[in-house]
Amino acid sequence: MRNPVKIGRRVYLRLVEPDDARLFADASHLEIETRFQDDGRVPVSVLAHQHWIRASGRRGTPEEISFAICRVEDDVCIGGTTLRHIDWINRTAETGTGLFAMTDRGQGLGTEAKHLLLEYAFVDLGLHALNSMVYEHNTRSAAALAKQGYRLAGRLTADVQQGGGFHDTLVFDITRENWERAYARWRDEQAGVT
């Protein structure tokens, strides 16, 4: 494993590196899903991703920390997960997670990565509460958030324009206490405890 920050059973998290830029750029060209991209799919350059990765890796107090989600078995980076808008005074942040390939989605890998991110946020950084935004039609992500301990906090009206219409954005929140309960449940499920 390469500089792991959090290690799970099947995936681990490490900081994104400039040489990951190609994977993120490729994913932006190969995305199959059209409904859950707020602004539609956009091919993004390697240069743009390198710029983002270098900016996020600088020393100092970050407003964003981005991790590559890597498979334990072969070190391959399969996606990314991020804490953004980190508020170091109020100890809050927004989370976001994505897997590059459709074949990796729905396999529990994103949930495992998300629990590693939440552990990093709540335990390592000592954050108090987090939030996440989901396009209202993205029922899969909304269900995943609920399973991870998030609660629906409300919705922003017509926040997204797509397909000639306007759609709401769902806003979720989670406290450390919520996450600890959800994490314990998830670990029991993984261990086969009923």
Regarding 131 and contact with another protein (CB under 8 A), the answer is yes
The yes or no reply on residue 91 touching another protein (CB under 8 A) is yes
DSSP 14-67: EE--GGGHHHHHHHHHH----TT-TT------HHHHHHHHHHHT-SS--S-EEE
Q: Which amino acid is at 134?
A: V
Q: Is 109 in the site for another protein (CB under 8 A)?
A: no
Please state the closest distance from residue 74 (CB atom) to another protein, in A: 38
What's the one-letter identity of residue 46?
V
CA dist., res. 37 & res. 9, Å (int): 29
| CB 128 to another protein: min, Å | 6
- 3-class SS of residue 98: strand
Q: Is 89 in the site for another protein (CB under 8 A)?
A: yes
Q: Please work out the total of residues on this chain that contact another protein, with binding judged by CB under 8 A.
A: 24
Q: Which helix (H) or strand (E) holds 143?
A: helix 139-147
Residue 30 in the binding site for another protein (CB under 8 A) = no
**Does 155 interact with another protein (rule: CB under 8 A)?**
yes
Is 173 a binding residue for another protein by CB under 8 A? The answer is yes
The span of 1-9, 28-36, 123-131, 138-146 binding another protein (CB under 8 A) equals 123-131
Q: Does 154 bind another protein (CB under 8 A)?
A: yes
Q: Between the CA of residue 89 and those of 63, 129, 153, 174, 177, what are the distances in Å?
A: 12, 12, 21, 18, 19
* Contact positions vs another protein (CB under 8 A): 39, 61, 87-92, 128-129, 131, 151, 153-159, 161, 166, 171, 173, 175
